[in-house]
A and B are shown apart, each in its own frame.
Chain A
Protein backbone atom coordinates (compact mmCIF):
# COMPACT_ATOMS: atom_id res chain seq x y z
CA UNK A 1 0.00 0.00 0.00
CA UNK A 2 1.03 3.55 -0.63
CA UNK A 3 2.25 5.60 2.28
CA UNK A 4 0.38 8.57 3.62
CA UNK A 5 3.08 11.10 2.73
CA UNK A 6 1.90 11.36 -0.86
CA UNK A 7 2.22 14.86 -2.28
CA UNK A 8 -0.87 16.95 -1.84
CA UNK A 9 -2.06 19.45 -4.38
CA UNK A 10 -4.57 21.99 -3.19
CA UNK A 11 -5.69 24.67 -5.60
CA UNK A 12 -6.57 26.89 -2.64
CA UNK A 13 -3.07 26.80 -1.21
CA UNK A 14 -0.62 27.66 -3.90
CA UNK A 15 2.53 29.66 -3.36
CA UNK A 16 3.71 32.54 -5.53
CA UNK A 17 3.55 31.24 -9.08
CA UNK A 18 6.96 32.46 -10.23
CA UNK A 19 8.59 30.58 -7.36
CA UNK A 20 6.48 27.45 -7.86
CA UNK A 21 7.56 27.51 -11.47
CA UNK A 22 11.22 27.67 -10.51
CA UNK A 23 10.80 24.77 -8.11
CA UNK A 24 8.99 22.86 -10.86
CA UNK A 25 11.85 23.32 -13.28
CA UNK A 26 14.27 21.95 -10.73
CA UNK A 27 12.02 18.96 -10.07
CA UNK A 28 11.65 18.27 -13.78
CA UNK A 29 15.32 18.77 -14.65
CA UNK A 30 15.49 15.32 -16.23
CA UNK A 31 12.69 16.35 -18.56
CA UNK A 32 14.61 19.46 -19.61
CA UNK A 33 17.59 17.26 -20.38
CA UNK A 34 15.44 14.87 -22.44
CA UNK A 35 13.86 17.74 -24.35
CA UNK A 36 17.24 19.20 -25.24
CA UNK A 37 18.41 15.78 -26.32
CA UNK A 38 15.29 15.28 -28.41
CA UNK A 39 15.74 18.62 -30.17
CA UNK A 40 19.33 17.90 -31.07
CA UNK A 41 18.93 14.25 -32.00
CA UNK A 42 15.72 14.76 -33.97
CA UNK A 43 17.01 17.73 -35.88
CA UNK A 44 20.03 15.99 -37.27
CA UNK A 45 18.99 12.36 -37.37
CA UNK A 46 17.98 12.19 -40.99
CA UNK A 47 20.66 14.42 -42.43
CA UNK A 48 23.90 12.85 -43.63
CA UNK A 49 26.23 15.35 -42.04
CA UNK A 50 24.21 15.36 -38.83
CA UNK A 51 25.50 17.49 -36.02
CA UNK A 52 28.16 18.99 -38.33
CA UNK A 53 25.45 21.29 -39.64
CA UNK A 54 25.54 23.28 -36.42
CA UNK A 55 29.04 24.24 -37.43
CA UNK A 56 28.57 24.42 -41.18
CA UNK A 57 25.62 26.78 -41.00
CA UNK A 58 27.32 29.79 -39.44
CA UNK A 59 30.45 28.98 -41.42
CA UNK A 60 28.50 29.14 -44.67
CA UNK A 61 26.86 32.39 -43.62
CA UNK A 62 30.23 33.81 -42.72
CA UNK A 63 31.75 32.87 -46.09
CA UNK A 64 28.88 34.48 -47.96
CA UNK A 65 28.88 37.63 -45.87
CA UNK A 66 32.62 38.09 -46.03
CA UNK A 67 32.60 37.62 -49.80
CA UNK A 68 29.84 40.17 -50.14
CA UNK A 69 31.07 42.74 -47.66
CA UNK A 70 34.84 42.34 -47.39
CA UNK A 71 35.64 45.05 -49.93
CA UNK A 72 33.21 47.34 -48.18
CA UNK A 73 34.67 46.81 -44.73
CA UNK A 74 38.36 46.47 -45.59
CA UNK A 75 39.21 48.54 -42.56
CA UNK A 76 38.39 45.69 -40.20
CA UNK A 77 41.36 43.45 -39.70
CA UNK A 78 40.34 39.79 -39.75
CA UNK A 79 36.86 40.66 -40.93
CA UNK A 80 35.69 37.03 -41.30
CA UNK A 81 36.29 36.29 -37.67
CA UNK A 82 34.71 39.62 -36.73
CA UNK A 83 31.54 38.59 -38.56
CA UNK A 84 31.59 35.04 -37.31
CA UNK A 85 31.93 36.02 -33.66
CA UNK A 86 29.02 38.43 -33.95
CA UNK A 87 27.01 36.10 -36.10
CA UNK A 88 27.06 33.11 -33.78
CA UNK A 89 25.97 35.29 -30.88
CA UNK A 90 23.14 36.71 -32.96
CA UNK A 91 22.15 33.33 -34.42
CA UNK A 92 21.90 31.92 -30.92
CA UNK A 93 19.61 34.72 -29.84
CA UNK A 94 17.43 34.70 -32.95
CA UNK A 95 17.08 30.91 -33.15
CA UNK A 96 16.45 30.39 -29.46
CA UNK A 97 13.76 33.03 -29.12
CA UNK A 98 12.03 31.87 -32.32
CA UNK A 99 12.25 28.24 -31.19
CA UNK A 100 10.59 29.17 -27.90
CA UNK A 101 7.59 30.51 -29.77
CA UNK A 102 7.21 27.38 -31.90
CA UNK A 103 7.83 25.13 -28.90
CA UNK A 104 4.75 26.58 -27.25
CA UNK A 105 2.72 25.02 -30.05
CA UNK A 106 4.18 21.53 -29.62
CA UNK A 107 4.27 21.88 -25.89
CA UNK A 108 0.80 23.38 -25.84
CA UNK A 109 -0.75 20.07 -26.87
CA UNK A 110 0.97 18.48 -23.90
CA UNK A 111 0.26 21.27 -21.46
CA UNK A 112 -3.42 20.66 -22.13
CA UNK A 113 -3.15 17.06 -21.02
CA UNK A 114 -0.65 16.82 -18.23
CA UNK A 115 0.81 19.02 -15.57
CA UNK A 116 4.33 20.17 -16.40
CA UNK A 117 6.21 23.27 -15.36
CA UNK A 118 4.98 25.63 -18.04
CA UNK A 119 8.43 27.04 -18.70
CA UNK A 120 9.87 23.57 -19.49
CA UNK A 121 9.79 24.05 -23.23
CA UNK A 122 11.24 27.54 -23.10
CA UNK A 123 14.05 26.53 -20.77
CA UNK A 124 14.86 23.51 -22.93
CA UNK A 125 14.92 25.70 -26.06
CA UNK A 126 17.61 27.79 -24.41
CA UNK A 127 19.46 24.59 -23.49
CA UNK A 128 19.37 23.41 -27.08
CA UNK A 129 20.59 26.82 -28.24
CA UNK A 130 23.50 26.69 -25.79
CA UNK A 131 24.57 23.27 -27.05
CA UNK A 132 24.49 24.50 -30.63
CA UNK A 133 26.36 27.64 -29.63
CA UNK A 134 29.06 25.56 -27.98
CA UNK A 135 29.44 23.54 -31.16
CA UNK A 136 29.81 26.63 -33.30
CA UNK A 137 32.99 27.47 -31.43
CA UNK A 138 34.80 24.82 -33.42
CA UNK A 139 34.51 26.68 -36.77
CA UNK A 140 35.19 29.95 -35.00
CA UNK A 141 38.51 28.78 -33.60
CA UNK A 142 39.30 27.25 -36.97
CA UNK A 143 38.73 30.58 -38.72
CA UNK A 144 40.81 32.45 -36.18
CA UNK A 145 43.72 30.11 -36.77
CA UNK A 146 43.22 30.08 -40.54
CA UNK A 147 43.42 33.85 -40.77
CA UNK A 148 46.50 33.93 -38.60
CA UNK A 149 44.76 35.86 -35.85
CA UNK A 150 45.89 35.37 -32.29
CA UNK A 151 43.87 33.15 -30.01
CA UNK A 152 43.55 35.04 -26.76
CA UNK A 153 43.30 33.77 -23.22
CA UNK A 154 40.32 36.03 -22.80
CA UNK A 155 38.32 33.40 -24.71
CA UNK A 156 37.90 31.77 -21.29
CA UNK A 157 35.59 34.62 -20.37
CA UNK A 158 33.15 33.71 -23.14
CA UNK A 159 31.07 31.24 -21.06
CA UNK A 160 30.05 34.20 -18.89
CA UNK A 161 29.00 36.10 -22.02
CA UNK A 162 27.05 33.04 -23.14
CA UNK A 163 25.16 32.88 -19.87
CA UNK A 164 24.20 36.55 -20.07
CA UNK A 165 23.06 36.07 -23.65
CA UNK A 166 21.07 32.99 -22.61
CA UNK A 167 19.37 34.85 -19.76
CA UNK A 168 18.41 37.68 -22.08
CA UNK A 169 17.13 35.27 -24.75
CA UNK A 170 15.03 33.40 -22.18
CA UNK A 171 13.51 36.63 -20.90
CA UNK A 172 12.67 37.96 -24.36
CA UNK A 173 11.39 34.57 -25.51
CA UNK A 174 9.08 34.22 -22.50
CA UNK A 175 7.58 37.64 -23.11
CA UNK A 176 7.09 37.08 -26.84
CA UNK A 177 5.64 33.60 -26.46
CA UNK A 178 3.16 34.77 -23.83
CA UNK A 179 1.98 37.44 -26.26
CA UNK A 180 1.94 34.90 -29.10
CA UNK A 181 -0.54 32.72 -27.20
CA UNK A 182 -3.05 35.55 -27.18
CA UNK A 183 -2.16 37.05 -30.56
CA UNK A 184 -0.83 34.60 -33.15
CA UNK A 185 0.28 37.56 -35.28
CA UNK A 186 3.02 38.30 -32.82
CA UNK A 187 5.19 35.43 -34.03
CA UNK A 188 5.05 36.70 -37.63
CA UNK A 189 5.75 40.20 -36.45
CA UNK A 190 8.69 39.03 -34.40
CA UNK A 191 10.35 37.43 -37.44
CA UNK A 192 10.35 40.82 -39.15
CA UNK A 193 11.51 42.61 -36.02
CA UNK A 194 14.44 40.19 -35.79
CA UNK A 195 15.70 41.14 -39.26
CA UNK A 196 15.53 44.85 -38.51
CA UNK A 197 17.12 44.30 -35.12
CA UNK A 198 20.01 42.40 -36.63
CA UNK A 199 20.85 45.24 -39.01
CA UNK A 200 20.62 47.74 -36.17
CA UNK A 201 23.21 45.78 -34.23
CA UNK A 202 26.83 45.86 -35.38
CA UNK A 203 27.08 42.23 -36.44
CA UNK A 204 28.30 42.45 -40.01
CA UNK A 205 29.51 46.05 -40.03
CA UNK A 206 32.04 47.73 -37.75
CA UNK A 207 30.71 50.02 -35.06
CA UNK A 208 32.62 53.01 -36.47
CA UNK A 209 30.57 52.87 -39.63
CA UNK A 210 27.60 54.44 -37.92
CA UNK A 211 27.82 58.25 -37.78
CA UNK A 212 28.57 59.55 -34.31
CA UNK A 213 25.24 61.38 -34.11
CA UNK A 214 23.20 58.19 -34.40
CA UNK A 215 25.28 55.97 -32.17
CA UNK A 216 23.38 56.76 -29.01
CA UNK A 217 20.05 55.78 -30.53
CA UNK A 218 21.24 52.75 -32.40
CA UNK A 219 23.65 51.31 -29.88
CA UNK A 220 23.08 52.61 -26.42
CA UNK A 221 19.39 51.84 -26.47
CA UNK A 222 19.88 48.41 -28.04
CA UNK A 223 20.36 45.62 -25.48
CA UNK A 224 21.86 43.31 -28.07
CA UNK A 225 24.61 45.86 -28.72
CA UNK A 226 26.01 45.26 -25.25
CA UNK A 227 25.47 41.52 -25.30
CA UNK A 228 27.15 41.04 -28.66
CA UNK A 229 30.00 43.24 -27.50
CA UNK A 230 30.50 41.28 -24.31
CA UNK A 231 30.64 38.18 -26.47
CA UNK A 232 32.90 39.55 -29.16
CA UNK A 233 35.48 41.61 -27.32
CA UNK A 234 37.16 38.71 -25.50
CA UNK A 235 37.30 36.71 -28.72
CA UNK A 236 38.28 39.38 -31.13
CA UNK A 237 40.16 42.02 -29.20
CA UNK A 238 41.76 39.86 -26.57
CA UNK A 239 40.64 41.91 -23.59
CA UNK A 240 37.82 41.60 -21.13
CA UNK A 241 34.83 43.84 -21.85
CA UNK A 242 35.02 47.15 -19.99
CA UNK A 243 33.16 47.32 -16.69
CA UNK A 244 30.42 49.62 -17.90
CA UNK A 245 29.55 47.45 -20.91
CA UNK A 246 29.64 44.32 -18.79
CA UNK A 247 27.54 45.82 -16.02
CA UNK A 248 24.99 47.12 -18.50
CA UNK A 249 24.81 43.76 -20.28
CA UNK A 250 24.42 41.89 -16.99
CA UNK A 251 21.82 44.32 -15.70
CA UNK A 252 19.75 44.13 -18.87
CA UNK A 253 19.88 40.32 -19.02
CA UNK A 254 18.90 39.75 -15.44
CA UNK A 255 16.14 42.33 -15.52
CA UNK A 256 14.72 40.96 -18.78
CA UNK A 257 14.82 37.43 -17.42
CA UNK A 258 13.00 38.44 -14.25
CA UNK A 259 10.33 40.37 -16.13
CA UNK A 260 9.83 37.53 -18.61
CA UNK A 261 9.70 34.88 -15.88
CA UNK A 262 7.13 36.75 -13.79
CA UNK A 263 5.04 37.75 -16.78
CA UNK A 264 4.95 34.23 -18.23
CA UNK A 265 4.33 32.35 -15.02
CA UNK A 266 1.59 34.72 -13.93
CA UNK A 267 -0.20 34.24 -17.23
CA UNK A 268 0.50 30.51 -17.40
CA UNK A 269 -2.68 29.47 -15.57
CA UNK A 270 -4.68 30.97 -18.41
CA UNK A 271 -2.75 29.18 -21.15
CA UNK A 272 -4.84 26.04 -20.97
CA UNK A 273 -7.90 28.19 -21.61
CA UNK A 274 -6.35 29.72 -24.69
CA UNK A 275 -4.04 27.25 -26.38
Chain B
Protein backbone atom coordinates (compact mmCIF):
# COMPACT_ATOMS: atom_id res chain seq x y z
CA UNK B 1 0.00 0.00 0.00
CA UNK B 2 1.10 3.51 -0.70
CA UNK B 3 2.61 4.89 2.48
CA UNK B 4 3.68 8.21 1.03
CA UNK B 5 2.41 11.37 2.61
CA UNK B 6 -0.73 12.69 1.05
CA UNK B 7 -0.60 16.08 -0.51
CA UNK B 8 -3.47 17.51 1.42
CA UNK B 9 -4.74 21.00 1.05
CA UNK B 10 -4.20 22.70 4.42
CA UNK B 11 -7.85 22.49 5.47
CA UNK B 12 -8.72 19.05 4.14
CA UNK B 13 -10.46 16.78 6.62
CA UNK B 14 -11.44 13.90 4.36
CA UNK B 15 -9.25 12.54 1.64
CA UNK B 16 -10.06 9.45 -0.38
CA UNK B 17 -7.39 8.19 -2.70
CA UNK B 18 -8.22 5.58 -5.33
CA UNK B 19 -10.77 3.98 -3.06
CA UNK B 20 -12.26 0.76 -4.37
CA UNK B 21 -14.73 -1.44 -2.58
CA UNK B 22 -15.24 -4.86 -4.05
CA UNK B 23 -17.77 -7.34 -2.83
CA UNK B 24 -17.11 -10.92 -3.71
CA UNK B 25 -20.44 -12.49 -4.21
CA UNK B 26 -20.43 -16.24 -4.39
CA UNK B 27 -21.73 -17.27 -7.79
CA UNK B 28 -24.40 -19.21 -5.99
CA UNK B 29 -25.32 -18.85 -2.38
CA UNK B 30 -23.56 -21.37 -0.14
CA UNK B 31 -25.49 -21.73 3.05
CA UNK B 32 -24.09 -24.61 4.97
CA UNK B 33 -20.71 -25.44 6.27
CA UNK B 34 -20.91 -28.91 4.77
CA UNK B 35 -21.62 -27.54 1.32
CA UNK B 36 -18.76 -25.09 1.68
CA UNK B 37 -16.24 -27.77 2.61
CA UNK B 38 -17.38 -29.92 -0.30
CA UNK B 39 -17.02 -26.99 -2.68
CA UNK B 40 -13.56 -26.16 -1.43
CA UNK B 41 -12.48 -29.75 -1.87
CA UNK B 42 -13.91 -29.79 -5.35
CA UNK B 43 -12.35 -26.38 -5.98
CA UNK B 44 -15.67 -25.20 -7.26
CA UNK B 45 -16.22 -21.90 -5.51
CA UNK B 46 -16.96 -19.27 -8.07
CA UNK B 47 -17.08 -15.63 -7.19
CA UNK B 48 -18.68 -12.78 -8.99
CA UNK B 49 -16.98 -9.50 -8.33
CA UNK B 50 -19.14 -6.53 -7.68
CA UNK B 51 -17.56 -3.10 -7.47
CA UNK B 52 -19.58 -0.90 -5.15
CA UNK B 53 -16.96 1.85 -5.53
CA UNK B 54 -14.31 2.18 -8.19
CA UNK B 55 -11.23 4.40 -7.89
CA UNK B 56 -12.85 7.18 -5.94
CA UNK B 57 -10.76 10.30 -5.39
CA UNK B 58 -12.28 12.97 -3.24
CA UNK B 59 -11.09 15.74 -0.98
CA UNK B 60 -13.47 17.54 1.32
CA UNK B 61 -12.42 20.69 3.18
CA UNK B 62 -13.25 21.50 6.76
CA UNK B 63 -16.52 23.20 7.61
CA UNK B 64 -18.43 22.35 4.48
CA UNK B 65 -21.79 20.73 4.04
CA UNK B 66 -21.06 18.37 1.22
CA UNK B 67 -23.72 16.42 -0.65
CA UNK B 68 -23.50 13.09 -2.38
CA UNK B 69 -26.21 12.47 -4.93
CA UNK B 70 -26.96 9.71 -7.38
CA UNK B 71 -29.42 6.99 -8.20
CA UNK B 72 -30.17 4.06 -5.94
CA UNK B 73 -27.34 1.59 -5.97
CA UNK B 74 -24.79 4.15 -7.11
CA UNK B 75 -22.62 3.51 -4.05
CA UNK B 76 -23.59 6.50 -1.92
CA UNK B 77 -24.09 4.55 1.28
CA UNK B 78 -20.96 2.53 0.66
CA UNK B 79 -19.01 5.76 0.34
CA UNK B 80 -20.39 6.95 3.68
CA UNK B 81 -19.42 3.62 5.25
CA UNK B 82 -15.88 3.98 4.02
CA UNK B 83 -15.68 7.47 5.51
CA UNK B 84 -17.11 6.34 8.82
CA UNK B 85 -14.52 3.53 9.09
CA UNK B 86 -17.16 0.84 9.00
CA UNK B 87 -15.94 -0.58 5.73
CA UNK B 88 -12.25 -0.95 5.12
CA UNK B 89 -11.76 -0.37 1.38
CA UNK B 90 -10.53 -3.26 -0.72
CA UNK B 91 -8.01 -0.92 -2.29
CA UNK B 92 -6.96 2.66 -1.86
CA UNK B 93 -6.53 4.90 1.08
CA UNK B 94 -8.86 6.75 3.40
CA UNK B 95 -7.54 9.63 5.42
CA UNK B 96 -9.80 11.30 7.95
CA UNK B 97 -9.01 14.05 10.38
CA UNK B 98 -11.32 14.27 13.34
CA UNK B 99 -13.98 12.09 14.91
CA UNK B 100 -16.70 10.92 12.56
CA UNK B 101 -20.18 10.67 13.91
CA UNK B 102 -22.82 9.12 11.70
CA UNK B 103 -26.45 9.78 12.44
CA UNK B 104 -27.66 6.26 13.00
CA UNK B 105 -30.64 4.74 11.30
CA UNK B 106 -33.81 4.99 13.30
CA UNK B 107 -33.77 2.41 16.02
CA UNK B 108 -30.16 1.35 15.68
CA UNK B 109 -28.40 1.84 18.97
CA UNK B 110 -31.61 2.07 20.91
CA UNK B 111 -33.34 -0.52 23.01
CA UNK B 112 -37.16 -0.53 23.15
CA UNK B 113 -37.37 -1.60 26.79
CA UNK B 114 -35.15 1.17 28.08
CA UNK B 115 -36.42 4.69 28.77
CA UNK B 116 -35.50 7.65 26.60
CA UNK B 117 -33.01 8.80 29.19
CA UNK B 118 -31.35 5.38 29.47
CA UNK B 119 -31.20 5.23 25.71
CA UNK B 120 -29.43 8.58 25.54
CA UNK B 121 -26.67 7.06 27.66
CA UNK B 122 -26.54 3.94 25.52
CA UNK B 123 -26.56 5.91 22.29
CA UNK B 124 -24.01 8.39 23.57
CA UNK B 125 -21.51 5.71 24.47
CA UNK B 126 -22.05 4.06 21.08
CA UNK B 127 -21.05 7.38 19.55
CA UNK B 128 -17.92 7.19 21.67
CA UNK B 129 -18.69 9.78 24.33
CA UNK B 130 -17.71 9.22 27.94
CA UNK B 131 -20.62 8.98 30.40
CA UNK B 132 -19.55 12.14 32.21
CA UNK B 133 -19.97 14.12 29.00
CA UNK B 134 -23.37 12.62 28.31
CA UNK B 135 -24.54 13.72 31.74
CA UNK B 136 -23.42 17.26 30.97
CA UNK B 137 -25.45 17.30 27.76
CA UNK B 138 -28.50 15.50 29.12
CA UNK B 139 -30.75 18.53 29.75
CA UNK B 140 -29.97 20.00 26.38
CA UNK B 141 -30.75 16.73 24.59
CA UNK B 142 -34.05 16.33 26.38
CA UNK B 143 -34.99 19.90 25.55
CA UNK B 144 -34.12 19.58 21.87
CA UNK B 145 -36.03 16.31 21.55
CA UNK B 146 -39.21 17.98 22.90
CA UNK B 147 -40.14 14.75 24.63
CA UNK B 148 -40.95 16.28 28.00
CA UNK B 149 -42.12 13.70 30.53
CA UNK B 150 -41.94 10.93 27.97
CA UNK B 151 -38.18 10.91 28.46
CA UNK B 152 -38.63 8.49 31.37
CA UNK B 153 -40.99 6.13 29.54
CA UNK B 154 -39.81 3.05 27.71
CA UNK B 155 -38.98 3.67 24.08
CA UNK B 156 -41.53 1.12 22.84
CA UNK B 157 -44.27 3.57 23.82
CA UNK B 158 -42.92 6.28 21.48
CA UNK B 159 -44.36 7.28 18.15
CA UNK B 160 -42.01 7.20 15.18
CA UNK B 161 -41.79 10.99 15.21
CA UNK B 162 -40.73 10.97 18.86
CA UNK B 163 -38.22 8.29 18.02
CA UNK B 164 -36.76 10.41 15.24
CA UNK B 165 -36.53 13.50 17.44
CA UNK B 166 -34.77 11.58 20.19
CA UNK B 167 -32.39 10.01 17.68
CA UNK B 168 -31.45 13.30 16.12
CA UNK B 169 -31.15 15.09 19.44
CA UNK B 170 -29.03 12.35 20.97
CA UNK B 171 -26.54 12.25 18.15
CA UNK B 172 -26.22 15.94 17.34
CA UNK B 173 -25.94 17.51 20.76
CA UNK B 174 -22.21 17.40 20.37
CA UNK B 175 -20.50 19.35 17.72
CA UNK B 176 -18.95 16.49 15.85
CA UNK B 177 -15.87 17.02 13.71
CA UNK B 178 -17.51 15.20 10.83
CA UNK B 179 -21.23 14.50 10.68
CA UNK B 180 -22.62 11.86 8.35
CA UNK B 181 -26.27 12.02 7.35
CA UNK B 182 -27.70 9.25 5.22
CA UNK B 183 -31.19 10.21 4.07
CA UNK B 184 -32.21 11.27 7.54
CA UNK B 185 -33.79 14.51 6.50
CA UNK B 186 -36.60 12.57 4.88
CA UNK B 187 -38.05 11.51 8.22
CA UNK B 188 -40.08 13.69 10.50
CA UNK B 189 -42.37 16.56 9.70
CA UNK B 190 -41.57 19.93 8.17
CA UNK B 191 -40.87 21.65 11.50
CA UNK B 192 -38.49 18.93 12.54
CA UNK B 193 -36.65 19.11 9.25
CA UNK B 194 -36.25 22.87 9.52
CA UNK B 195 -34.85 22.40 12.99
CA UNK B 196 -32.36 19.83 11.77
CA UNK B 197 -31.23 22.05 8.93
CA UNK B 198 -30.79 24.96 11.29
CA UNK B 199 -28.67 22.82 13.54
CA UNK B 200 -26.48 21.76 10.64
CA UNK B 201 -25.95 25.37 9.61
CA UNK B 202 -25.02 26.12 13.19
CA UNK B 203 -22.47 23.32 13.14
CA UNK B 204 -20.91 24.70 10.00
CA UNK B 205 -20.00 27.93 11.74
CA UNK B 206 -18.47 25.86 14.52
CA UNK B 207 -16.22 24.08 12.03
CA UNK B 208 -18.11 20.81 11.63
CA UNK B 209 -17.96 19.17 8.24
CA UNK B 210 -21.20 17.50 7.23
CA UNK B 211 -21.64 14.94 4.52
CA UNK B 212 -25.14 14.28 3.41
CA UNK B 213 -26.79 11.83 1.11
CA UNK B 214 -30.13 12.98 -0.11
CA UNK B 215 -32.63 12.47 -2.86
CA UNK B 216 -34.12 15.89 -2.21
CA UNK B 217 -32.39 18.24 -4.63
CA UNK B 218 -34.00 21.19 -2.86
CA UNK B 219 -32.27 20.35 0.43
CA UNK B 220 -29.00 19.81 -1.39
CA UNK B 221 -29.14 23.17 -3.13
CA UNK B 222 -30.25 25.10 -0.07
CA UNK B 223 -27.81 23.49 2.37
CA UNK B 224 -24.70 22.50 0.51
CA UNK B 225 -21.86 24.37 -1.07
CA UNK B 226 -20.47 21.51 -3.10
CA UNK B 227 -21.60 18.09 -4.14
CA UNK B 228 -20.47 14.91 -5.83
CA UNK B 229 -22.53 12.84 -8.23
CA UNK B 230 -21.98 9.12 -7.97
CA UNK B 231 -22.94 6.81 -10.78
CA UNK B 232 -22.50 3.04 -10.59
CA UNK B 233 -19.56 3.27 -8.23
CA UNK B 234 -17.65 6.07 -9.94
CA UNK B 235 -17.68 9.80 -9.56
CA UNK B 236 -19.34 11.50 -12.50
CA UNK B 237 -18.91 15.06 -11.36
CA UNK B 238 -17.67 17.10 -8.40
CA UNK B 239 -18.43 20.77 -8.18
CA UNK B 240 -20.70 23.36 -6.69
CA UNK B 241 -24.03 21.99 -5.54
CA UNK B 242 -26.07 23.82 -8.18
CA UNK B 243 -23.76 22.74 -10.98
CA UNK B 244 -23.85 19.08 -9.98
CA UNK B 245 -27.60 19.04 -9.37
CA UNK B 246 -28.16 20.63 -12.77
CA UNK B 247 -26.04 18.05 -14.57
CA UNK B 248 -27.67 15.22 -12.65
CA UNK B 249 -31.15 16.45 -13.49
CA UNK B 250 -30.29 16.81 -17.13
CA UNK B 251 -28.99 13.25 -17.25
CA UNK B 252 -32.13 12.04 -15.50
CA UNK B 253 -34.53 13.67 -17.92
CA UNK B 254 -32.41 12.59 -20.87
CA UNK B 255 -32.42 8.96 -19.78
Interfacial residues, chain A to chain B (CB-CB below 8 A): 1-2, 6-13, 27-28, 30-31, 33-35, 37-38, 41-42, 45-46, 109-116, 179, 183-186, 189, 269, 272-273
Contact = CB atoms under 8 A, between A and B. Distances in A.
Contacts of B102: 113-114
Contact of B125 (A13, A34, A111): A34
B231 interface: no
Contact of B33 (A28, A113, A183): A183
19 contacts: A2-B62, A2-B207, A8-B96, A10-B95, A10-B96, A11-B93, A27-B128, A28-B125, A30-B125, A34-B125, A35-B122, A38-B122, A45-B154, A110-B104, A110-B109, A113-B102, A113-B105, A114-B102, A179-B33
B31 A185 contact: yes
B198 interface: no
B255 interface: no
Contacts of B206: 1-2
B242 to A, nearest CB: 28
Given A183-B36, A272-B87, A112 B131 contact: no
B2 interface: yes
Interface residues of B, number: 49
A1 B93 contact: no
B99 interface: yes
B122 A273 contact: no
Contacts of A7: 97-99
A104 to B, nearest CB: 15
Contact of B131 (A30, A38, A42, A272): A30
A45 B113 contact: yes
A8 B114 contact: no
Contacts of B2: 12
A130 B74 CA distance: 46
A111 B86 contact: yes
B81 A273 contact: no
A197 B251 CA distance: 63
Contact of A115 (B33, B84, B114, B154): B84
Given A11-B89, A109-B108, A114 B84 contact: yes
A99 B98 CA distance: 34
Contacts of B24: 273
B39 to A, nearest CB: 12
* Residue from A31, A46, A111, A189 whose CB has the most chain B CB atoms within 10 Å: A31
A33 B131 contact: yes
A40 B62 CA distance: 42
A31 B125 contact: yes
Interface string B204-236: 001100000000000000000000000000000
Contacts of A38: 111, 114, 118, 122
